[in-house]
Amino acid sequence: MKRCHGWFCVLTLCCLPALAQEVRINIEGVGDVRTPIVAPPFAVTDPAMSSVAKEMAEVITFDLEFSGLVRIMPPANYPPGFVALDPDVAKLDLNAWQMSSKAENLVFGVVSREGNQLVTQFRMFDLISKNQVLGQELRVELKHPRLAAHKFSEEIIRHINGTPGIGTSEIVFSAGETRHKEIYVADYDGANALQLTKHNSVSIKPEISPDGNKIAYLSYKDRYGFLYIFDRRSGQSVPLSKEVGLNSAPAWHPNGTQLVMTLSKDGNMEIYVRNADGSNARRLTNNTFGDSSPVFSPDGQQIAFVSDRGGSPQIHVMGADGSNQRRVSLQGGNSFDPSWSPDGKFIAYVVEKKGQGAEIYVMDAGGGNPRPVTNSHGNNENPTWSADSRHVMFMSSRTGSHRLWAVNVATGEEKQIPRLNMLCEGPSWGGRRQ
């Protein structure tokens, strides 16, 4: 584990020469390899900021626990008589925190206000070596305290694992009743949900672009099901595909200039690729069976898709030019909804078996090692990966209504996405924000 020390680096981390490795002893049960961390409510220079500081510590706590890499120590493990952190870091008693919390690290923050900006000075201390290992000052608009906390949580995860967390990532999804669904965007944890489209129709299957600025989706706003692109900067939607017949399942190329989709304009469901402005449509499949739900690999060299050419819907993979088409799902049942992990190693998809509902599966990108990651015996569909390839978000009906859930692929832990008090489906998980 990399160890570094130092003072603050504005907007970037300060990493100095590594310290000697310490022996780590698991004190909370055999087999729990999560890093124990304590994250008390942050200190404030103005009592009026206390509620904001408390919320920011809660955001970091959620992010770290969500990662599956961290175990947050409860308030019962705070030092005896603890009331609040002092803004003066020199008064922080690391020995007391180490003895009481039994944690490896402590997250410390000081929240203040400068004009219309929220200023947070974040630190993380190694309670065993008593060194500061992370330091970051973040300035955001007063209305975005959660964003600052998300940013620091990403750096904590980077320090622990080498790959940053996904706190700043967003999700887009469809929400609403059967005959009235619109496209929404929210933080990955369900906060700050915002309705984007106002078509007063059925708009579904959103797919966020690699840069997060555009969303491709299917809408019946012009009576028939056509594909559109919503520009978040202008707030406008423009047509992507309004062909005769089926227009569905748009998915972005990693470079953001092209999309693959399913069209039936030639009498059969086939896979096409076209530019993001709707031009230059090219057909990639050509057979008498139905091909649908295409998605690019992270390097843009391959496309996973669904085909019933073997008698039932199954996951297939082909080159981005349509070459070398082959089946990769072999576990039995119907397979659909492929989603390629950002690191290129895995494909998440849905398997539907008679009498068992629809569950989320993950397999190696080449088709090996298929395994279920949900077991709800309900309908679990529309998988989409987090930017760190650790989690898959999906729609589930296990509670009796359509809600968004996420599963940690390594641990199998499933969590419902909070704060979304609406019927949700078809999530698309975007990348980290700058």
Please report, as a single letter, which amino acid is at residue 279.
S
- The answer to whether the CB of 15 falls within 8 A of the CB of 8 is no
- Which pLDDT does position 275 carry in this prediction? 97
Q: Which amino acid is at 205?
A: K
DSSP string for 395-417: EE-TTSS-EEEEEETTT--EEEP
Q: Which fold has domain 170-429?
A: Neuraminidase (2.120.10)
pLDDT, tens digit (0-9, with 9 covering 90-100), for 141-171: 999 999 999 999 999 999 999 999 999 999 9
**Cβ pair 269, 291 in contact under 8 A:** yes
Calculate mean pLDDT across residues 36-43: 97
354: pLDDT strictly greater than 60:
yes
Find the range with the poorest average confidence among 98-102, 145-149, 256-260, 352-356: 352-356
**Apex 431 CA angle, 413 and 5, nearest 5:** 80
Both tokens assigned to 188: 């990955």
* Residues counted in the chain: 434
> Computed from CA positions of residues 36, 40, 44, 50, in that sequence, does the dihedral angle turn out positive or negative?
positive
* Arithmetic mean of pLDDT over the chain: 92
Domain range summary for the chain, segments of one domain joined by +? 35-161, 170-429
Nearest C-alpha neighbor of 402 from the set 365, 427, 374: 427
58 three-state secondary structure:
helix
At residue 31 the predicted structure's pLDDT band, cuts being 50, 70 and 90, is confident
Share of the chain above pLDDT 90, in %: 89
pLDDT of residue 26: 38
Task: Supply φ then ψ for residue 86, to 5 degrees.
Answer: -90, 135
Average pLDDT over every residue of 310-335: 96
Q: Residue 103 — very low, low, confident or very high, per pLDDT cuts 50/70/90?
A: very high
Q: Per the structure block, which two tokens stand in for 109?
A: 């923050």
Tell me the three state secondary structure of residue 96. Answer: helix
pTM value is: 0.91
pLDDT tens digits for range 375-412:
987 899 999 999 999 999 999 999 999 999 999 999 99
* CA-to-CA separations, 106 to 55, 86, 90, in angstroms, rounded: 17, 14, 14
3-state DSSP call for residue 63? helix
Q: According to CATH, what is the number of the domain 35-161?
A: 3.40.50.10070
CB atoms within 10 A of CB 388: 20
CA 425 to chain centre: 15
pLDDT of residue 413 exceeding 90 = yes
**pLDDT classification of 326: cutoffs 50, 70, 90:** very high
